[in-house]
Structure 1
C-alpha cells in the first residue's frame, strides 16, 4: 500500500481556463515570404511569455479548421498574390490579423476550439492526446472492469485533455476478449504501469473479493491495489466513460483520491447524478456514468445533441434561434434552481462542496434535476469560468464560488445566453422581479465587493422557497476524517492560487491607471511647452520631462477581458 502514499507527478502544469492573449509583435521577410512573430501569454501572468512564428498561410489554415455549421468567424484579411511583400500592405495585414486573433481569443465559445489551442500553444496541446487517452482507458479496462469500449465522442466538452467514450457492460465470459481487443486496437499491447484504484458501489465492493485477488495477481497490474468490480448495469446498456489527467490544483495523495471517489460513488441523494464507477490511477481518473440521450441541461436549453462538438452545440448564433423555441421557462428555472440549491446545501453540510457548478454538469431525468461533476474538484481541474473569478474579490470560499456559479447558471437559464462578464450592472427589462432579485444578489458589482449570499439564504428567497420538493429519497454521504481533511486541503490549495491571481489582476489594474495618468500628464506638459514656444517665437520644441512611465508586460488599453 506504500504506492498510495506517493504524490503524483503526472498532472497539468497550466490552467486551461485562463484567457490567452496574442500580440503580433513584428513581421519580417524570410526567403520572399512574410513571417509574423506573435507573442502569447495567459492572464493574469503577463511575465510568462513565449513567441511563435507563423506565415499568412498558417492563419488561413486555422480559419479553415475553425469553420463549422452555424459558426460565424471573424473576418480574416484576404489573400493577395501580387504586392504582398510591400511594406504598407504588410503593416495593414498585421493590423487585420491582430484584430482577427483578438476576436477569436475573446470569443466565449471559439476560444475553446481545439484548432485555436493547437495554434496558440502547440506544446501543451499535443496532437496525440486522443491516443494517450485510449492507452489510459485500456489500462483501466485491463484492471478487471467489465466494459466494452465503443465510439469516441470527439470534442463534446471544452477541456482539451478530457476524453469521452461510449461504453457498454458485457458478460464476464466476453470481458477478456473485449478488453484485449481494445488494447490491441487503440492502445498498444502493454500496460502503462499506473497504480489503479477502482471504486464501485458498496454491494459490488463486498462481493468482489475473489475478483480482486485474481486481478492483483495479473502480470499487467504489477502495482494495482484496491481493484473492485464495477457497478452492475444492464447488459449492453449505453454508458458514458470519460478520462482526464489531474489538473493544476491537484494535491491529493492517490489514497485520498480513491477515498473521495468511493464516497462520491456511494453517495445517495435525489438531486445528485449517479456515478457507476470511478477509477483513480497515478496519471488521471476514469469515471463511468449513465449516458443520457437528451444530454445535459445546457443541451436542452440550446436544442443540441449531446454527441455534437462543443463549438457547434453552444455557438451563440445557433442558440439564439433555437433556445427561444425549446428554452426553459422561468417556472422551470425556479424548480431546477431549488433542486440544485438543495443538492449543494447537502454537499456543503458534509464539508465537500462542489466547485464545478454549470449547466453542462446538470441532467434532467423525468422532470428531476440532478447535479454531477463533483469529481472535477478531486482532480484539481479549474472551473470554465475561473478567469472571471479573478475579477470578483468576494470569491474567497468554496461556497461563495458555488453560489457565484449558480448565479451564472440561473442567468443562462433565464436569459438564454451566457454572461461573459464578471458582474452584471444592468439586467434585461423582461427579467421577472423575483428572478432579478436573486441575480442582483449574486452578480451585481456590489455582491462582487461585499460578499455572496449563502446557500441557506438563497433557499429562503421567495423565488425558491415556494417551490415544493417532490423527491424525498434517502440521502447519505460517508467520508472518513482523513478524507475530509484531504478535501479541505484541496479546497485551500485551489483558493490560495485563486487569491494569488486576484492580487495579480488588481495590481495590473493599478498599473494601468498609473500609466494612463502619466500619459495624460505628459500630454498636458507637451501642450504647455508648445504654447510657450509660440509666444516666445522659439523654434525649439522645448525641454521634455524625464521618462518615468510604469511598464507592465502585456498590458493593453483594452484590458484583460
Structure 2
C-alpha cells in the first residue's frame, strides 16, 4: 500500500510567515533604493534580498487601500529627500509599514503582498491554470457548464472558484472549486482518488454535501451547493459573498455582528459533534474557520472537507506550530474551534495565536472554554479533547437541532488503514516542523540576549572584576623592595652558610637593574661570608666585584 509519495515536486507553503528587515539603503543615480532581506519561515537559508524604491512602497499601500486599513506609509518629501538623516528616518518608517502588513494574516496571505516580497515564486497565472483543468473536466462531464469565474472569492492563492449550472436545470447554481495539491499531501494519487470517490456518499447534518469530486496529478475538484448568503464570516462582517474582494470585506469591516449566547452554544455543539464524527471515521478537518462554515436553517455546516485530503496547509498553521503540544489532528481541530468561538462571540478574528485578556462582562462559561484553548498556558500544557469539550457546562445540556440527516460514511477497511497512516505521517511531519521552529527560536533568543545592552554591560563588569582580581594576585606574589626582599635575601644567605657545598648567590630582586654581560661568571664567585649584612652592603659588594683581581688556581 502506497501512502507516501517520495518523488514529487515540492509545493510552496503559502501560509509560512514572511519576515522582513530593511538592512540599508543605496543611492542609485537620482533615487534611493532600500535593501530588504526577506526570510520565509525560521531558517535563514530560506532568505533573499530585494531592492525597492519609495515609490514601490507607495504603490503597495495604494493597492492595499482596498482593505480599508490605515497603513503607516512615511510621508513624501520633495526637497532634501537625499539627505542621510531623512533617508534613515524613512527607512525606519518603511520597516514599521512592513511589520504592520505582515502582522495581519489576511494581508500577509494576499497575492499583492506575496508578489511584492517574493515575485519569483508567484509567476504562475493560477486562475488560468485552474481554468484549463476545469475545461478538461467539462469535456468528460458535459452536463455542466460555467456561468462565471468568482475571482473575488476566497483568500487562498491556489484555490479557484467558479459558478456553474446543470444544463438540464439552467436556473440552479452550484459552486465548483479547484484546489492545487498542497505541500502536506502525503497520499498517493491512487489512494486520494479512492477517498475522493467516497465524498459524495458522506452524509452529516453539519457537513455540506458534495455533488461531485475528482482528482488528478495536479489537484482536486469538487462541486457543492452555492450558498447565496455566504459564509459565517460574511454574516459576522455583514457582507455578501459576491459583492467585493475578500480584503475589502474582511480586513477592516465597518460594522460587525456577534452571535447570541444561545446561537453560540447551539452552533458550537453542532461543530463539536461534526468534528467527533470525522475523527471516529479516521478523518479530520484541520480547516475549521468562519470562512469555511455556512449557516442554513439554524444548522451550521462545514464546506471544504477535501482540503485535509489534498494536503493544503491550514489557515491557523502559523499560529499552532509555535506550540509543540498542539501536534495531533484532534488538538489542531480543538485549537481552530477556539478561534471560531472567539469570532462568534466578538465578531472579529483574534489575528494572533493566543488571547491576553478577556472583557470582564464575558459570560463565565464562554470565558472558561476560551481560556482552556487560547491562553498561552493552555497551548503550552495541552488542550482539552473533543469529548471533554462536549462535556463542558456550556455544551453538555445543549440539544442539537437535526434536519433529518443521519450521519453516515462507509469506508473500506483498506482505505481505513490508509487514512490512519496518513494521519500518523501528518503528525510526524508537523512535529519535525515544530522541532525546527523551536530550535531556531531558542537560538535566536540566545543571540538576542547575548547582544543585548544589558548583557554587554554585564560582560564588561565581569571582565573588569576578573582583571582587578588578577592584578591583586600579582601584587601579592611580587616582593616588596623594602621589606620582603631583605628578609628573603637574609634567609637565602643563612641557607647558603649551612649548606655544603654552598650554592651560587641568588639572583637580584626584580627591582634591581640588570648587570652587564661580565656577570655571567657570577656562579663561580665564593659564597658570601656575612649573612647578617643588610641589603645595601650586599648590592655594593656585588657591583664592586672585578674579575681581573682573581688569581689563577694552582693545580
Superposition TM-score, scaled by structure 1 size: 0.78
Q: Report how many residues are paired.
A: 463
Q: What residue in structure 2 maps to residue 521 of structure 1? A: 455
Structure 1 contact 11–246 (Cα < 8 Å) conserved: no
Q: What residue in structure 2 maps to residue 128 of structure 1? A: 125
The yes-or-no answer on 1:493 pairing with 2:493 is: no
Structure 1 contact 364–370 (Cα < 8 Å) conserved: yes
Cα pair distance change 1:31/1:455, threshold 3 Å: same
Q: What residue in structure 1 maps to residue 325 of structure 2? A: 394
Runs of 5+ in structure 1 lacking a partner? 172-233, 534-561
Give the distance between the partners of 1:313 and 1:116, measured in 2 at CA: 17
Structure 2 contact 204–407 (Cα < 8 Å) conserved: yes
Cα pair distance change 1:50/1:155, threshold 3 Å: farther
| 3-state SS, counterpart of residue 300 of structure 2 | strand
> Matches of residues 2-151 of structure 1 in structure 2 within 5 Å?
7=5, 13-68=11-66, 71-126=68-123, 128-151=125-148
Structure 1 contact 339–469 (Cα < 8 Å) conserved: yes
Structure 1 contact 268–475 (Cα < 8 Å) conserved: yes
Give the distance between the partners of 1:477 and 1:264, measured in 2 at CA: 8
1:481, distance to aligned residue in structure 2 (A): 2.4
Structure 1 contact 378–490 (Cα < 8 Å) conserved: no
Q: What residue in structure 1 maps to residue 190 of structure 2? A: 255
Give the distance between the partners of 2:10 and 2:295, measured in 1 at CA: 32
Cα pair distance change 1:298/1:101, threshold 3 Å: same
Residue from 238, 241, 244 that aligns with 2:173: 238
1:280, distance to aligned residue in structure 2 (A): 0.4
| 3-state SS, counterpart of residue 37 of structure 2 | strand
Residue from 237, 242, 245 that aligns with 1:302: 237
Give the distance between the partners of 1:170 and 1:10, measured in 2 at CA: 38
Give the distance between the partners of 1:238 and 1:409, measured in 2 at CA: 28
Give the distance between the partners of 1:506 and 1:455, measured in 2 at CA: 27
Q: What residue in structure 2 maps to residue 385 of structure 1? A: 316
| 3-state SS, counterpart of residue 197 of structure 2 | helix
Higher RCO, 1 vs 2 (CA within 8 Å, ≥6 residues apart): 1
Q: What residue in structure 1 maps to residue 551 of structure 2? A: none
Give the distance between the partners of 1:235 and 1:7, measured in 2 at CA: 41
Give the distance between the partners of 1:145 and 1:394, measured in 2 at CA: 48
| 3-state SS, counterpart of residue 109 of structure 1 | helix
Cα pair distance change 1:168/1:271, threshold 3 Å: same
Structure 2 contact 3–421 (Cα < 8 Å) conserved: no
Cα pair distance change 1:59/1:255, threshold 3 Å: same
Structure of greater Rg: 2
Q: What residue in structure 2 maps to residue 372 of structure 1? A: 303
Deviations 1:208-236 (A, max 9, x none): xxxxxxxxxxxxxxxxxxxxxxxxxx443
Give the distance between the partners of 2:43 and 2:428, measured in 1 at CA: 16
Give the distance between the partners of 1:88 and 1:364, measured in 2 at CA: 56
Superposition TM-score, scaled by structure 2 size: 0.79
Cα pair distance change 1:372/1:8, threshold 3 Å: farther
1:527, distance to aligned residue in structure 2 (A): 5.5
Q: What residue in structure 2 maps to residue 440 of structure 1? A: 371
> Matches of residues 122-521 of structure 1 in structure 2 within 5 Å?
122-126=119-123, 128-171=125-168, 234-307=169-242, 308-315=244-251, 317-318=252-253, 321-323=254-256, 326-471=257-402, 472-518=404-450, 519=452, 520-521=454-455
| 3-state SS, counterpart of residue 102 of structure 2 | helix
Deviations 1:465-484 (A, max 9, x none): 22112315222111122322
1:395, distance to aligned residue in structure 2 (A): 1.1
Cα pair distance change 1:10/1:276, threshold 3 Å: farther
